Structure 1
């Protein structure tokens, strides 16, 4: 890459999140990860959620759309006060929003009613920073208004520090927030579910004081992303400050006087700069400028490099004090690259710049591991033309695929266990639901905590049925394969009384075709994936031919449409949680059309999109 590059180390972000989530948990605080500085990068959000953050905070609808389309199903809160004109979009894409204006709240209520949704509202309290928030005396009436409006749920109160005016958080201000919470709860007659005490600026306060017990949430951005101490601008102990590393190429190196020659005025950006005479200095110019970055927020990664100044397109560095590298190369030679850590302002500018390439490090910082699919299916299907086309599609998507005929149950189980151990995706294709037993046995033997996402017209959850109608009930017996609390049924078209009782007794999330019609498949799958992936090591996705049109007579005309099922599979792929995949209900010898449709859905679940993987 010849231009500037911003490299994102997801492992360091997850490690930062784990440390801060643990520290906040000890103080009774849950963590909302704020991703607005990264323009809603789904990979970043996923890394922070993996570190224990419970939700995502964003400030732009475009960023929230990017998160959702990238497979993020965790709750997302709109941090910037919604405008009246974007109320409908906020309700559509966000679970909650921070609010302080009655007119906006009214617009959110109307939008939520029209969309058939319930939107959470957090009323913001002004406690000194003079950003958003109602005065303390006005919070109670505003909260009562939210509680009374249809389509809205008064979720809690929040406040903010050190954003607009740099006001430090204090115990006095937080005590006032806690008392305001008690007043609102007395007025409304119920307990608020969240009290957000501020942002990363709360963290230094945790070292010296105990926060009021009612403060139970904090919104963290700079601390999670770059380990920044909001009070000092320096690093927070134990956190990585280089999870985002900016590199640029040296395009000139010359020894020049340290003082400009001639009368000086304002530079190209209207600033007047002063310089100290340090004699001749070795200076390097890299291909990075103010169009890309805030130079004041750059910290050279290597010792001995100083940032002097910057123009639109050039960053000027003093490299006089740099040493040689271990292999004798000179740091700052033309054609070499120089790396920089960034403060929050510089990170935002770098992420926004279209001229800075963004790249994500995979685990360990090396090359991406080989992606493999280990497929087991009946011999007749293995030899079908649709299977050959499916294998070619997988190859085009970058998968190494092995497609082998089904053996007896123990051998199939062993093959699936081996696939999981090699971090391949096991794919089992069987004639009917009873053929899923090797997959379930292998998953149970592995001991992983897995969610189960089952797309089927029937619940298959009759505990007294030894055949197809009891397959799911047997899979959930004792939580051996999947946990009932992480099991989701999607696309149900019917259920017997016994199946209905099983679903209720085990508190399974069942999203029927009625739910698909009411909510749309995107919202249904968002809820389903969120439930199946919460506190699990991955998702087992089971697709029955009856769930969607195109897979034979079993699908009928009342299931998911082709696009609905394709979108459901695409969202499963984008979530990044897929651990295993199964296709059932086709029979031993499906028609070419049914096989084509089914393998098309499977390809989507593995990442195939219209314009590529």
Structure 2
């Protein structure tokens, strides 16, 4: 059975290392758990560990996941990582302590609901810095903050931006210093202190040691580095973090020597995807194995085979085929094919109820 193994001990070790490194650089951080898709046992292992006490908050973009976190540990500070929809305002106030926002209409609704629930809700205002995802326009910053500072049940604790997620705009020193300067402008204009200048994520981590993160940036939102040990800036291991935290294995359910070309009329009704493999002219048959996962579970292009001998032939809804060449080697029915995962494949696999989750 295809199995995703999550080593929570190694993830906790990564969290501890990030705690130390970021505290040395006077940066607070939010552990982003989107990749874990609300898996309760994984949450229980991680957020009940003592290392979480040194993390500013736990962030997620799904209310149901933050609800699970609050059920496990009510005192943990939770952060909702995308601007709320109006129909989720009640739950945002109920299950989250902080939310990222870019719409005054939504913030007004949050203020009203917070008053109903007898709470003060904290917000970080997201600023558009070139990535063209969420964020208010820079020319509107002062007017926007002037309005939200008047809301009695909203505590505006910061300013933030998103970089590197959609178009891949890199978090350069120039971008980050602009964000920091906007924060200083707001503080000077309204005589209020912004607690968090949230301009960093896993993609920004390698910039710290290069001196390319302005001192004013004091908060990062980190998921991939903590959970996979990688920075998406270069897709490489970050410092001394473990990159063997999450691994994927699939079982071989068939292995036979087969023709390298399909036989028959090829129509347009197929739901699968195939690769264009090249073979020497004298090769007519090769060994091919089928493993027990498919497109319903993950995009195979986001998996990296540990055995470079195998070549992807194609994938369908629930099976994937690999070519082993003229020699089947160590493989047989019941053997496993081993993969390294990335952020996208881990999230898809965690979200698939057809994939077994093994928690260590």
TM-score under structure 2 length normalisation: 0.90
Give the conservation status (yes or no) of the 8 Å contact 1:251–1:286. yes
The two structures, once aligned, show a CA RMSD in angstroms of 2.4
Q: Which has the larger displacement, 147-156 or 47-56?
A: 47-56
Residue 197 of structure 1 deviates from its aligned partner by 0.8
Q: Distance in 2 between matches of 1:344 and 1:275?
A: 27
Runs of 4+ in 1 over 6 A off after TM superposition: 321-324
Residue 273 of structure 1 deviates from its aligned partner by 4.4
* 2:44 equivalent to 1:43: yes
Aligned counterpart, 1:497: none
* 2:66 equivalent to 1:61: no
Aligned counterpart, 1:247: 249
Q: Distance in 1 between matches of 2:35 and 2:182?
A: 31
The structure carrying a bigger strand percent of its residues is 2
**Cα deviation code 1:11-41 (max 9, x no counterpart):** 1101222223333333321121100111133
Give the conservation status (yes or no) of the 8 Å contact 2:277–2:313. no
- Relative contact order higher in (CA < 8 Å, ≥ 6 apart): 2
Match of 2:183 among 181, 184, 202: 181
Residue 287 of structure 1 deviates from its aligned partner by 0.7
Residue 107 of structure 1 deviates from its aligned partner by 0.4
Could you say if the C-alpha distance between residues 207 and 70 of structure 1 is closer, same or farther in structure 2, counting changes exceeding 3 Å? Answer: same
Q: Distance in 2 between matches of 1:298 and 1:229?
A: 17
* 2:334 equivalent to 1:335: yes
Q: Distance in 2 between matches of 1:86 and 1:158?
A: 21
Q: Distance in 2 between matches of 1:303 and 1:289?
A: 20
Aligned counterpart, 2:317: 312
* 2:4 equivalent to 1:6: yes
Q: Distance in 1 between matches of 2:252 and 2:273?
A: 25
Give the conservation status (yes or no) of the 8 Å contact 2:160–2:198. yes
Q: Distance in 1 between matches of 2:324 and 2:50?
A: 40
Match of 2:216 among 211, 214, 218: 214
Could you say if the C-alpha distance between residues 281 and 50 of structure 1 is closer, same or farther in structure 2, counting changes exceeding 3 Å? Answer: farther
Could you say if the C-alpha distance between residues 340 and 144 of structure 1 is closer, same or farther in structure 2, counting changes exceeding 3 Å? Answer: same
The structure carrying a bigger helix percent of its residues is 1
Aligned counterpart, 2:296: 291
Q: Distance in 1 between matches of 2:49 and 2:133?
A: 26
Residue 237 of structure 1 deviates from its aligned partner by 4.2
**Cα deviation code 1:190-215 (max 9, x no counterpart):** 21111111321101222423311110
Give the conservation status (yes or no) of the 8 Å contact 2:287–2:327. no
Aligned counterpart, 2:82: 80
Could you say if the C-alpha distance between residues 99 and 21 of structure 1 is closer, same or farther in structure 2, counting changes exceeding 3 Å? Answer: same
Gapped regions of structure 2 (runs ≥ 5): none
Give the conservation status (yes or no) of the 8 Å contact 2:6–2:359. yes
Q: How does 1:183-582 map to 2 (within 5 A)?
A: 183-261=185-263, 268-269=270-271, 273-277=275-279, 279=283, 280-302=285-307, 304-320=309-325, 330=330, 332-361=331-360
Could you say if the C-alpha distance between residues 321 and 178 of structure 1 is closer, same or farther in structure 2, counting changes exceeding 3 Å? Answer: farther
Q: How does 1:108-187 map to 2 (within 5 A)?
A: 108-187=110-189
Q: Distance in 1 between matches of 2:170 and 2:224?
A: 16
Aligned counterpart, 1:387: none
**Cα deviation code 1:294-314 (max 9, x no counterpart):** 211112345544444311111
Q: Distance in 1 between matches of 2:158 and 2:150?
A: 14
Greater Rg over alpha carbons, structure:
1
Give the conservation status (yes or no) of the 8 Å contact 1:76–1:96. yes
Q: Distance in 1 between matches of 2:270 and 2:211?
A: 47
For the residue of structure 2 that corresponds to 1:198, the secondary structure is: strand
Gapped regions of structure 1 (runs ≥ 5): 325-329, 362-613
**Cα deviation code 1:456-482 (max 9, x no counterpart):** xxxxxxxxxxxxxxxxxxxxxxxxxxx
Q: Distance in 1 between matches of 2:84 and 2:151?
A: 17
For the residue of structure 2 that corresponds to 1:66, the secondary structure is: helix
Could you say if the C-alpha distance between residues 210 and 11 of structure 1 is closer, same or farther in structure 2, counting changes exceeding 3 Å? Answer: same
Match of 1:31 among 7, 29, 32: 29
Q: Distance in 1 between matches of 2:267 and 2:233?
A: 34
Could you say if the C-alpha distance between residues 177 and 222 of structure 1 is closer, same or farther in structure 2, counting changes exceeding 3 Å? Answer: same
Residue 261 of structure 1 deviates from its aligned partner by 4.9
Could you say if the C-alpha distance between residues 109 and 353 of structure 1 is closer, same or farther in structure 2, counting changes exceeding 3 Å? Answer: same
Could you say if the C-alpha distance between residues 273 and 321 of structure 1 is closer, same or farther in structure 2, counting changes exceeding 3 Å? Answer: closer
Give the conservation status (yes or no) of the 8 Å contact 1:259–1:275. no
Q: Distance in 2 between matches of 1:232 and 1:267?
A: 39
Q: Distance in 2 between matches of 1:138 and 1:182?
A: 15
Residue 341 of structure 1 deviates from its aligned partner by 2.0
Residue 274 of structure 1 deviates from its aligned partner by 2.7
